Amino acid sequence: MELRLTPSRKAIIQKAMAISGQTAADIAYEGACHVLQQHEQMALRGANRDAFLDAVLDPPKPTKKLVDALRLHQEVFG
């Protein structure tokens, strides 16, 4: 993989390499992992967390529309 970097970005990566003892590839990999982790995790706080936990611990009963949709899906896709 090749990257075209501005001098300022290259300097930042080189400084990170010097401080950490890691290669540029290691730093790029860790950065990519961090980006993926942010997109794969969900952090809920306060009222949002409480509402989520309530729904998981005591889920609402399925509506007729949902039951009908599931029945139709089973008929079509088996």
Confidence of residue 66 (pLDDT cuts 50, 70, 90): very high
Confidence of residue 1 (pLDDT cuts 50, 70, 90): confident
Tokens of 74: 């089973």
Tokens of 50: 């409480």
Tens digits of residue pLDDT in 13-56: 999 999 999 999 999 999 999 999 999 998 999 999 999 999 99
Largest Cα–Cα separation, the chain? 62
What residues does each domain of the chain span? 7-77
pTM of the predicted protein model: 0.54
- What's the CA angle centered on 56, arms 69 and 58, to 5 degrees? 90
d(CA 61, CA 74): 19
